[in-house]
Amino acid sequence: MASTNAQLAAVFERMAEIEQILGDNPFRVNAFSKAARVVGDLAQDVAQIGPDMEKLMQIEGIGKGIAQRICEFLTTGKIKEHDELLKKVPKGLPGLLEVPGLGPKTVALLWKHAGIEDVEGLKEKLKQGDELAHLPGMGAKKLENLRKSLLFAETAHVRVRIGQALPVAVWLVEQLRKVKGVERADYAGSLRRGKETIGDIDLLVGAEEGVAEGVSGAFIQLRLVTEVLARGPTKSSVRMDLSGEGDGPIVQADLRIVGVESYGAALLYFTGSKEFNVALRQRAIDRGWRLNEYGLFDGKRMVAGGTEEEVFKKLGLPWLPPEMREDRGELALAEKGKLPALIELKDIRAELHAHTTASDGRWSVRELALAAVERGFHTVAVTDHSKSQVIANGLSEQRLQEHIEEVRRVARELKGTITVLAGSEVDILADGSLDYPDSLLKELDVVVAAPHGGLSQEPAKATARLIRAIENPYVTILAHPTGRLIGRREGLSPDMKEVIAAAARRGVALELNANSWRLDLRDTHARMAIDAGVKLAINTDAHGPGDLDQLVYGVLTARRAGVTKQDVINCMPRAALAKWVKATRGN
């Protein structure tokens, strides 16, 4: 079941969409849309705050009206106004919004001028030929794209993980940079901002005049392209199979081509977020200027546009990292010169959660250690699964004792090259106890405690479970606290504020698991943790060659949270990390 935040955000988003379809009040559209974003981004579940007007209004971005509606939802399980809005439109109309390419304005057009009230009605109209072509903004090409979008909606996943999309986007940019006349190329959108899932891939090219035809021609012929949706001098759209094998997730990729003089403004605009762009445009308006994807203008004169840095500087701001552009107070920090120096991939110097063939890994202890050396790490912790993870070949107490000896042997052999720590990913059982007795945990250098089973527990029990594990004196790191798998299972919904407070009291680290299936802690929880003074551990949960490359996704998520290298134990020098790990023992 979705969290209360997710449920409530969906209600507010639907209210905004229906208001936009009705065309009654743009201020209400903006209010509900903002409420959906604010509630969806909250690190703490609103159900844990409760129907308390005073506390709800203390949340930045939530005013009295939205707080009243949240209280109503928490008390009754619904918002009366939402139900009333639904009654104003045909029952099936909101379903049209799930069709790729159909926004509220087009849905309103189809309903009011063609009598289309649901997806089936749209399908029937499209079967009748080009009857809809007379509508404003429609045409034979648009109708054909709608037919394809309906088919796409029936077979495709709406969003894909960043781990699926980013490698493809990097490859696409490399191919575009090879095209004659291309001077700059980047991916943009939510992918550049490091979001955990993306709906499509936005690509931008800055090119010499007169080469657009060649660029778009090269783009639509790339080997991953399964279908060309549109091709033009400034924009082309295709669908791509991310696997390259014909059986992977299908996503839309949009290419925009601009002159190099506008490249920075276009990259800024197409990176977003929408809310950040609105705030930045308002800043330009306050100065008597106009900002759009073509540049920053004083009247008809462009005053900046070639690079993002130029635009930010002209607006009196330092360059803001893309991961922070969510309108969560980053502009105010930039104005005051207080932007954090965000963590970078090169800052990570240790892996503290990794598996070998002793449990379900694909490499030996020595192979893991040498892979860590190759990455430039000074420390690696071997943390194979505990006995309850039977499906993962978890180690019995006797096998763990033998495994510790093997790890120590490799550690001696590689002394001076890398520090190899003997650890375990120990299951947190349903009641919060750990899978091994303290007498055995005491023999380990690192204890990574993690929930695996019982992930449908109610929030109060999940919270108590994690806190009890944190309070064990031998726990070093609490790993992937919710146990979620993005797009597959929601996992636990503990009160993260209480969990983080317990970690702060004990001095243990909370893991931001970098595997793109997990990214757990999520960005909002990571922000809460560092605000509370809790250290983070960014680990890949590596099981074999290539898994250490997942580190990039953890770093991107951390950057979205405003994390610096001082907040992360994996960034500590060797001696400092060893001292920190030792200090957690027996606390």
Total count of residues recorded for the chain: 587
**Statement to judge: residues 185 and 37 lie in one domain:** no
Of 304, 335, 366, the residue at which a domain comes to its end is: 335
Q: Where are the beta strands (DSSP E) in 472-518?
A: 477-478, 509-513
- What pLDDT score was predicted for residue 452? 95
Of 155, 177, 205, the residue at which a domain comes to its end is: 155
pTM score: 0.82
**Statement to judge: residues 40 and 173 lie in one domain:** no
- The mean pLDDT of 253-268, rounded to a whole number, is 97
- Answer yes or no: is 340 within a domain: no
Find tokens 């209280």 and name the residue.
71
**Statement to judge: residues 493 and 535 lie in one domain:** yes
**Statement to judge: residues 207 and 118 lie in one domain:** no
Of 120, 135, 155, the residue at which a domain comes to its end is: 155
- Alpha helices (H) along 42-161: 46-49, 53-56, 64-76, 80-87, 104-114, 119-127, 140-155
Choose between 67 and 137: higher pLDDT: 67
- What pLDDT score was predicted for residue 587? 58
**Statement to judge: residues 85 and 122 lie in one domain:** yes
- Answer yes or no: is 283 within a domain: yes
**Statement to judge: residues 276 and 352 lie in one domain:** no
- The mean pLDDT of 335-352, rounded to a whole number, is 97
Choose between 383 and 60: higher pLDDT: 383
Q: Which residues pair with 448 in a beta bridge?
A: 425, 477
**Statement to judge: residues 509 and 522 lie in one domain:** yes
- What pLDDT score was predicted for residue 154? 63
Split at pLDDT 50, 70, 90, the class of 534 is: very high
Total domains in the chain come to 3
* Angle subtended by helix axes 4-22 and 26-41, to nearest 10: 160
CATH number at residue 549: 3.20.20.140
- Answer yes or no: is 232 within a domain: yes
- What are the distances in angstroms from CA 121 to CA 115, 128, 154, 226, 533? 8, 11, 16, 28, 55
**Statement to judge: residues 571 and 433 lie in one domain:** yes
Split at pLDDT 50, 70, 90, the class of 256 is: very high
Q: Is the pLDDT of residue 156 over 60?
A: no
**Nearest residue to 314 via CA among 301, 326, 327, 323:** 301
Centre a 10 Å sphere on the Cβ of residue 530 and count the other Cβ atoms it contains. 21
Question: Which range (135-144, 147-156, 215-224, 250-259) has the least confidence?
Answer: 147-156
Q: What's the mean per-residue pLDDT of the chain?
A: 92
- What pLDDT score was predicted for residue 40? 82
Q: Is the pLDDT of residue 369 over 80?
A: yes
Long-range contacts of 366-374 (CB under 8 A, 24+ apart): 366/410, 366/413, 366/414, 367/545, 368/542, 369/410, 369/414, 369/418, 369/420, 370/414, 371/542, 371/545, 371/548, 372/418, 372/548, 373/414, 373/417, 373/418
CATH number at residue 323: 3.30.460.10
pLDDT in tens, 92-133: 898 888 787 788 888 999 999 889 999 899 988 888 777 788
Who contacts 294 (Cβ-Cβ below 8 Å, separation ≥6)? Answer: 258, 262, 265, 266, 302, 305
CATH number at residue 57: 1.10.150.110
* Angle subtended by helix axes 4-22 and 64-76, to nearest 10: 120
Choose between 34 and 479: higher pLDDT: 479
pLDDT in tens, 437-492: 999 999 999 999 999 999 989 999 999 999 999 999 999 999 999 999 998 888 99
Domain that holds residue 244: 160-335
Q: How far apart are the first and last CA of the chain?
A: 36
**Statement to judge: residues 373 and 301 lie in one domain:** no
**Percentage of the chain exceeding pLDDT 70:** 97
**Two tokens, residue 562:** 């405003």
**Two tokens, residue 32:** 């509900």
pLDDT in tens, 397-447: 999 999 999 999 999 999 999 999 999 999 999 999 999 999 999 999 999
**Statement to judge: residues 538 and 410 lie in one domain:** yes
**Nearest residue to 5 via CA among 493, 574, 536:** 493
**Statement to judge: residues 529 and 401 lie in one domain:** yes
- What pLDDT score was predicted for residue 2? 56
- Answer yes or no: is 404 within a domain: yes
- Answer yes or no: is 353 within a domain: yes
- Answer yes or no: is 250 within a domain: yes
- The mean pLDDT of 327-333, rounded to a whole number, is 94
- What pLDDT score was predicted for residue 222? 95
Strands 200-207 and 182-187: antiparallel
Q: Where are the beta strands (DSSP E) in 163-312?
A: 182-187, 197-198, 200-207, 225-231, 235-241, 250-259, 290-292, 295-298, 301-304
- Answer yes or no: is 403 within a domain: yes
**Statement to judge: residues 360 and 279 lie in one domain:** no
**Nearest residue to 481 via CA among 528, 531, 422:** 528
